[in-house]
Structure 1
Amino acid sequence: MAEQQRYIAHFDLDSFFVSVELLQQPALKGKAVIVGGTPERGVVTSCSYEARKFGVRSAMPMSRAMKLCPHAVVLRGTHTEYRRYSQWVTDIIAAKAPLFEKASIDEFYIDLTGMDRFFDPYQWTIDLRQEIIDKTQLPISFGLAANKMVAKIATDEAKPNGYLFVQPGKEKDFLAPLPVNKFPGVGEQTFLLLKAMGIHTIRDLSETPVAILEKKLGKTGADLWKKSQGIHNGQVHAYHEAKSVSSENTFHENTADTDFLLSELVRLTERVAFELRRDEKLAGCIAVKIRYPDFETTSKQTTISRTLRDDELIPQAIELFHQLYRKGQSVRLLGVRLSELTNHAVQGSLFDDAERKNKLYKAIDEVKNKFGKTALKKARTLKKGKE
């Protein structure tokens, strides 16, 4: 049987920190802007393309950056805003992507392998990029290819604020004219050594006998030769949100049975609420996700008063479901996610029965811990359905 064609998308938010700052201070657009330490010390964290024209680069000492671009506007950075925007983009991707990896605060890989049976991976990726831009106003580039390495290099070539698809089988042709230091891990010393060998482009590297590369560079030489052929086997590792708890179920049979879907929603909400209490956290946001048989995925979230109680979370989940669900359409997957978690103690209103509820949930959780998560269920979840 033929090996399944891989499709890997790499997304990178362009000059992310600077882009966020420009949203806060539009008057800085078109100017050379550097986010980093003071001019006397520290390094460049991010810089605008106007600053890059003068040779400024990320990780460069601030003292050197200021010599290259003395008129630059220097900002210390607002890291709470960077985290907020990063989470916003993460949530958009998480709601749509079948499998994704968050490589850094501004960089993502998405594995679309096998999804070409349901949609065009290239158009899907274009649409996702546009959704991110429309919602956040942040510039973002992507590369789409058969592996992570080529996708990342394609993103670099697509910048600023563009995209590029390297067709399957064209990886070697795409890489050939690029300089050898396009490969991650080719530092200045290795770059100089390769140039001394007469190897300037990736084509030169691909045409050099692997034995010669191994003799000069050891295992690194063999690895670089393999990369020059467009070969890379790195996997996309599923991202797990550290500050959220979620549960979802892909049904064995697609279903449009609303009663079943609602009972499943209650079961999933019970499950994440139990996880929440076990971690001794409160949630300030709840989201519901629905995936249809054609893999179109939609999600909706709402901010809530911080809680860990089923009876407060379930009505919110049901309301989101009714806002989101296209009546009569079959559903492939249903999910619930709680986020904006805190460790704060429960503070009940003077007018509710908080203490009694807390004792009740403690008793329920003790049963579940002893006999398993499914030991106690709400009556609604016991209705017959397809799972």
Structure 2
Amino acid sequence: MMDLKRYIVHIDLDSFFVSVERKFNPELIGKPVLIGGSVERGVVASCSYEARKFGVHSAMPMRTALRLCPDAIVIRGSHGKYGEASREVTQIIHDTVPLYQKSSVDEFYIDLTGMDRYYDCYEFASALRQKVIHETGLPISFGMASCKTVAKMATNQAKPNGQLFVPHGKEKEFLAPLAISKIPMLGEKTCQKLYQYGIEKIGDLQKVNLKFLEAIFGKSGLFIYEKANGIDHGEIVPHSERKSISTENTFHNDVSERKVLESTLVSMTEELAGKLRREGMVASCLAIKIRYNNFETHTVQEKIALTAAEHILIPGIKNLLSKAWNGHRPVRLIGVRLSDLCPGSYQINLFEDNEERIRLYQAMDKINFKFGDKTVCRAAGMEIGTRNFNPFMKG
């Protein structure tokens, strides 16, 4: 079993938010596009390759991006559209492969180990990619290799809209000419320290002794050594094992009115609870995060009975707001997280729920799924709606 060749595929939807917007508005094709928050205070959630040529990248302040690329088209974006597109792709993968991990809204790892006895794994992955492109209209890239790290780096080399297989035994050869900054999770400070020793390419790093790296970086030395040499024993964690779901909202102007903060929390909690119900999950821990205008951040959480029902979650969220916020200090950002997830139904709280309420949730979910999130919501959440909702900011 130890000698079994691993075939790991990393799939990434290219410039996902931008690609979804172009699907609905083809006039955006070929133009520099920025998706994200407000120009004054927001950040870039996604950008087109045309914008990247100007040095723009995700997580960059929108003001900076527009200075670099003044002709860029800025789009606030639609959480509902992106969520639906992600679900479409997930369903195709779910119906096609034996084991996969959804690591983000637009990124997947697939384990095809053992399938080489019956299929050509590269041809299988190629057919899957074409199926996604054909059925969703979205550009997608993949890399295939013996481990997750090399597969992900192969995907990055294959972009945009391409594919690449790194054969077994060729990992070091593939990695050698790449810059050390291409190694996933290798931070800027680590790279700067390696540059001081004349180590710029991964090939340079492959020649370095493990003990030397451990002397400089401690326990992280082994991590760097293994990544540079294409060693990664990380397993594919099934999609269903996700443990939390969260979202945040950065206000256009700092907020110190409780009514606005509560309305925002209600809106976000409804959004997350609806998503849990669609995925057949329930949560047993809820938390809020508050960031003040000096960037001081506080998080409070509490355990709850397993649920995905707003009438239980919202009072708990409001109670946490009272604990976390002093009642007058201006708030820059607020967030909600539901965690300790497990498969289940929101009817599970039989002491709280009744048939009428369950039917109400089912009706709300059906309408929102068909016509988009927030089509039906509580009055408290309507004051916010999608106007200030920023699904791109993540904790």
TM-score normalized by the length of structure 2: 0.63
- What amino acid is the match of 1:18? V
Provide the residue aligned with 2:78 in structure 1: 78
CA distance in 2, matches of 1:147, 1:37: 35
Pick closer, same or farther for the CA change 1:227–1:345 going to 2, 3 Å: closer
Pick closer, same or farther for the CA change 1:88–1:228 going to 2, 3 Å: same
Provide the residue aligned with 2:60 in structure 1: 60
Aligned pairs (5 A) from 1:213-292: 213-240=213-240, 243-244=278-279, 279=348
Q: Does 1:147 align with 2:147?
A: yes
- What amino acid is the match of 2:125? T
Provide the residue aligned with 1:191 in structure 2: 191
Aligned pairs (5 A) from 1:346-357: none
Provide the residue aligned with 2:123 in structure 1: 123
Measured after TM superposition, the shift of residue 279 of structure 1 is: 4.2
Provide the residue aligned with 1:137 in structure 2: 137
**Identical-pair percentage:** 50
Pick closer, same or farther for the CA change 1:345–1:175 going to 2, 3 Å: closer
TM-score normalized by the length of structure 1: 0.64
CA contact (8 A) 1:194 1:200 kept: yes
Aligned pairs (5 A) from 1:236-385: 236-240=236-240, 243-244=278-279, 279=348, 344=360
Runs of 5+ unmatched residues, structure 2: 243-275, 282-343, 364-395
CA distance in 2, matches of 1:226, 1:63: 39
Aligned pairs (5 A) from 1:94-113: 94-113=94-113
Measured after TM superposition, the shift of residue 278 of structure 1 is: 5.8
CA distance in 1, matches of 2:30, 2:9: 29
Measured after TM superposition, the shift of residue 25 of structure 1 is: 1.1
CA distance in 1, matches of 2:359, 2:45: 31
Question: Over residues 1-49 of structure 1, what are the superposed CA-to-partner deviations in whole Å (9 max), with x where a residue is unaligned?
Answer: 6610000000000000000001111111111000011222211100001
Measured after TM superposition, the shift of residue 222 of structure 1 is: 2.1
CA distance in 2, matches of 1:32, 1:228: 34
CA contact (8 A) 1:100 1:108 kept: yes
Give the match's secondary structure for 2:238. Answer: coil
CA RMSD, aligned part only? 2.2
CA distance in 1, matches of 2:120, 2:183: 28
**The structure with more radius of gyration:** 1
CA distance in 2, matches of 1:2, 1:210: 24
Pick closer, same or farther for the CA change 1:46–1:345 going to 2, 3 Å: closer
Question: Over residues 328-379 of structure 1, what are the superposed CA-to-partner deviations in whole Å (9 max), with x where a residue is unaligned?
Answer: xxxxxxxxxxxxxx873678xxxxxxxxxxxxxxxxxxxxxxxxxxxxxxxx
Give the match's secondary structure for 1:344. Answer: helix
CA distance in 1, matches of 2:362, 2:62: 46
Runs of 5+ unmatched residues, structure 1: 247-274, 282-307, 309-341, 348-387
Question: Over residues 128-151 of structure 1, what are the superposed CA-to-partner deviations in whole Å (9 max), with x where a residue is unaligned?
Answer: 000000000000000000000000
Question: Over residues 133-187 of structure 1, what are the superposed CA-to-partner deviations in whole Å (9 max), with x where a residue is unaligned?
Answer: 0000000000000000000000000000000000011111111111111112222
